Structures are given as structure tokens and as C-alpha cells.
Structure 1
Amino acid sequence: MLAPLLIMLREGLEAALVVAIIATYLKRTGRGAWIGAIWVGVLFALALSLFVGAGLQALQAEFPQRAQEGFEAIVALVAVGVLVWMVFWMRAAARSIRATLETGIDAAFTENGPGQGTVWALIAMSFFAVAREGLESVFFLLAIFQQAPGPTAPLAALLGIVISIALGWGLYAGGLKLNLRLFFRASGLFILFVAAGLFSGALRSLHEAGLWNWLLTPAWDLSHELPLSSVAGAVLSALFGYHESPSFGEVLAWALFLVCTLPFFLRPAPIAQPQEA
């Protein structure tokens, strides 16, 4: 399943990129002995993400059916917000992320010296970088798993994480060269379409929860031409939130989301300043 694989590949690569930048700079500046502190922060961040994901799953299981639909809508809307923030944050930050991290490392050693304060500073840097991606992933995966139950989506997400770890190691080792700008731009465009499907699906969940009762007339009915039970229908549903008989409200929500986000994403990025190179 392409959607969870690509999202987790992107999320994992963002986290791996930050960790690789920190580790590479420590090694290059003769501070390689401090790299172990980075992995402590990574493990703390992974533990937090797993704890939050398990807690939300347990919380959802306690709700009655209509409340579960409302909870699914909230999770989907949060996931949409997280995905949009992730896409635009990386678009803006990618040009200066290396300089920002390296400046932070130098400041940690300058202010704290080679002691316990520096250890906690390095732990915090890796923790917040990985925790941000991990918590984003929790809400996205919950929303995707609700739309595509079964083992395929979790396995695809796991594969995306494995690939991102391998790419991160390749970047750290220095033998792998990636056009990160092209990767993040292409994946960002795809993610916006995924988020549009989640947004329209949230409207459907709100209706099933009894919280939305407008624009419910079906826009079209493709249950015979492209049913959800077909392979193509299942793939489109998992990728873009396709529904065989969407309401006018769902179609309008999907279109308005893309109209509001695509022009900002596709506009030319400002030229980076020399000090951010």
C-alpha cells in the first residue's frame, strides 16, 4: 500500500536526516564519543510515540459506535493538519536545517562544556526531532488504518520505516547521495492529495456520528464501475480516500482543500541566503 509506505518513508527520512546531520557533524568535529547521547534521545522519542499510539487505540476501543465515528473524524482532522504542517515546514526549513543543527551543537558545547549538560542537550536535540516525526506518524497511521483495516497498511508502514533507516545510514556513511529537494517536493505533492482524501473522509465520519447533516446528496455512484471491493477501488481508497458514492459535501471538501493548499505548495520557493547554505 503506497500511502503508508511513502508517508512513513518521508517521516522516517526526515528524522533520519536530522540524526545523520547531528552524528556526522559530531564525528567531523572530533566529538564522535558523544554520538551515543543521540541514540538515547531517539529511543526516548520512539517510546513516547508508541505509548501515545497505544493510548489512543485503547481510548477509541472504549467508545460506543457513534462516539467512535466522532473520534475517527477528530483523528483524521488532526492527521490532515499534521500532514499539511509537515509538508510546508519541510519546504521552508530544508534549506537551513543543517546550519541550524550545527549551530545548536556548537552552542551546546560552548555553553555547557564537555559535561552532563552537553549530554542532555544532545539527547534533547535528537529526542525532539524524532518525537515530532513519531507523533505526526501516530495520527496519520491511526487515520489510515481506520480507512484501510487489515495487515497490509501496517506492513507497508513498517517497510517505509525500514527503508528510511537504510537511507539514513547511507547518508551518514557518506556513500549515498539523494536529491532530497526533489524527493520532498514530489512526496509533498502526493501527501497533499492523501490529506485531501482524509479531509473528505472526516466529513463522512462526522455524518455517521450525527454531527454533520448537510450536502449529503450523492455526487455520483460508481458502485458498479469502480466498487470499493475491487482491487482498484481498494487501492484508491487507501491512497486518496476514494469512495464509490461520495456526497456533495465530501467532494466539495476534497476540492476546497486542494484549492487552498496546492497553489502555496507549488509556488517557487524563495532563494536561500548564503549563510543558510
Structure 2
Amino acid sequence: MLVPFLIMLREGVEAALIVGIIASYLKQTGRGQWMPAMWIGVFLAITLALLVGGGLELVSAEFPQKQQELFEGVVGLIAVGILSSMVFWMRKVARSIKHSLHVSLDHALTGSRHQVIALIAMVFFAVAREGLETVFFLLAVFQQSEGPSAPIGALLGLVLAIIIGFLIYTGSMRLNLSAFFRWTGLFILVVAAGILANSVQALHEAGLWNHLQTVLFDISATLPMDGPLGSVLAGMFGYQDAPTISTLGAYLIYLLVALVMFFLPSAAPVKQSSSVSSQ
């Protein structure tokens, strides 16, 4: 439950922050008449994310076993790529996101003859990116978990993200975005390493990857994956009680490279304070 909760919280806060900044800027610059167009863009982006997620889930349910494993492996690899790029992109732009959105909004409303369409498109692409990132991650997590805990965690994260977004918009909360995205990003990289290891295992079970399958150790008698603690570790970090060279190697190599890149000093210019309120 914790993994989908934190991911949905992070992605939800990011999306709510984008919408809040745009809405606040429209109000502050006397462009309140454009608010309906903004909400149309938000609605279209949410609809796209739901359609993509629902469509992929329905299609995959009809696959036979090997195709199911292949689908799980491919979705996992896509999720790892998206999560990694999301973490490093937000690490770079967290402090300048407000300025960037203001510039994009001004361009949409002054640099186009079709202002309504330009504003809808600008909001749509900004929010849709967050929605599609979330869809692929949740698909990867849901495929590797059982029971209702993962969907419940995602729902709770979304609800809290909406509340935080509203409080930021009304000025009732100032969120240190730099710290928020730094710590959640670090957690996401560890989770992504587990998803990568499970994806390698899924590709093996699908018959596409049969190299380096020697089991390094087996602690299933001590900490089984289907036990209380093992299932929690498996759901959160991709724990395997009998990892192979390929799965453990993928986990460690990814995590080492990602953490080194994560802790390297960022060269991004600081455009605003890291404590952000949308007003």
C-alpha cells in the first residue's frame, strides 16, 4: 500500500501544483475568464490517462500466461524508464517550475490566434504527462501485488494530493518542493530498482531472457516472499527470496548508477525559492 500511496501522492501533488499555479496566475493577471478552458484541459488529460490505463488492463487480461509475463516485463521496463526520467527531470526544474508555467501560459494566451485551443492544449500536455507516468507505474505495481491494498493506497495518495494542492492554491500551505521531491525521488529510485528486477524475471518467464539464471542464494526458508514481511518487502522494493545473477545484478547496477546521478550536484539555475505557494 505504501508504494502506490507515495507515488500517487507525489504525482498528484505535481499535477495539483501545476493546475494550482496556472489557476492562480490566471486570477492574478485578470484572466479569470479562461478558467473553464483550463479545466477542459485538465479533464481531457485525466480522461486520456484513465482510458490508457483501463485499455491496457483490459487487453492484458485476455493474454495467455506467457504473454501476460511479457506484458508485465515490458510495462515494468517502461515504468522504470518513466520513473527515472521523472525523478531527474523534477530534481532539475522543481525550483523553476512556477516561472516556466507562467512563461508557457503567457505564450499560449498572447502568441496564438486560437487562444482557447492553445490554453487547453498547454494544460492538457502538462497534466497528461503526469497522468501517463502514473498509469504505467501503477500498472507495474498492481501486476506485482495482490489484493485491494495497492488500489486503496493509490486512492488515499490521490485524495491527500488533492487536499495539499487545494491548500497550496488557497495560500494555506507553503510546501518545500525541493525537499518533497528529493525524498520522494530517492524512494522512487529504490522502488524502480525492484520493478526492474521483477521485469527481468518476467521476461525470463516469458522465454525472452534466459541468461545469467544461476540462483545466487536461497533464503526462502528464513524470509519467504509469501510471508508477512517478505510480501511487504516484495511489494515495496521487489524483494526476491531466491534471486538470480540477472535479477540481483539488474537491481544493484541500476540502483548504484541512479543514486550516483541523484546525489551529483545539480547544475540547474535557481529561478525561485524552493518553498512554493501558488499565490
> Shorter-chain TM-score: which interval?
over 0.9
Counterpart amino acid of residue 201 in structure 2:
R
1:48-59, aligned counterparts within 5 Å? 48-59=48-59
**Following the alignment from structure 1 to structure 2, what is the Cα–Cα distance between the partners of residues 182 and 45?**
27
Contact 1:203 1:212 in 2 (8 A): yes
Contact 2:8 2:134 in 1 (8 A): yes
Q: Structure 1's 276 and 108: CA in aligned 2 closer, same or farther, altered over 3 A?
A: farther
Counterpart amino acid of residue 75 in structure 2:
V
Counterpart amino acid of residue 40 in structure 1:
I
Q: What's the counterpart of residue 151 of structure 1?
A: 148
TM superposition shift of 1:42: 0.9
Q: Confirm whether residue 78 of structure 1 aligns to residue 78 of structure 2.
A: yes
Q: Confirm whether residue 111 of structure 1 aligns to residue 111 of structure 2.
A: yes
Alpha-carbon deviations, 1:248-277, whole Å to 9, x = none? 211111001012211111112226255899
Instruction: Give the structure-1-normalised TM-score.
Output: 0.94
Q: Structure 1's 274 and 63: CA in aligned 2 closer, same or farther, altered over 3 A?
A: closer
**Following the alignment from structure 2 to structure 1, what is the Cα–Cα distance between the partners of residues 17 and 34?**
18
Counterpart amino acid of residue 43 in structure 1:
F
Q: What's the counterpart of residue 277 of structure 2?
A: none
Q: What's the counterpart of residue 176 of structure 1?
A: 173
Q: 1:139 aligns with which of 122, 136, 139?
A: 136
**Following the alignment from structure 2 to structure 1, what is the Cα–Cα distance between the partners of residues 268 and 39?**
34
Alpha-carbon deviations, 1:160-212, whole Å to 9, x = none? 11111111111100110111100100000000000000001011101111111
Counterpart amino acid of residue 90 in structure 1:
M
Q: What's the counterpart of residue 13 of structure 1?
A: 13
Alpha-carbon deviations, 1:95-132, whole Å to 9, x = none? 2211111112222332347xxx2222221122111111
Alpha-carbon deviations, 1:117-150, whole Å to 9, x = none? 2222221122111111111111111110111021
**Following the alignment from structure 2 to structure 1, what is the Cα–Cα distance between the partners of residues 90 and 270?**
17
TM superposition shift of 1:217: 1.7
1:33-44, aligned counterparts within 5 Å? 33-44=33-44
**Following the alignment from structure 1 to structure 2, what is the Cα–Cα distance between the partners of residues 275 and 177?**
14
Q: 2:218 aligns with which of 212, 216, 221?
A: 221
Q: How many residues are paired up?
A: 274
**Following the alignment from structure 1 to structure 2, what is the Cα–Cα distance between the partners of residues 72 and 149?**
14
Q: Confirm whether residue 163 of structure 1 aligns to residue 154 of structure 2.
A: no
Unpaired segments ≥5 residues, structure 1: none
Q: Confirm whether residue 251 of structure 1 aligns to residue 260 of structure 2.
A: no
Counterpart amino acid of residue 36 in structure 1:
P
Counterpart amino acid of residue 62 in structure 2:
E
Instruction: Give the structure-2-normalised TM-score.
Output: 0.94
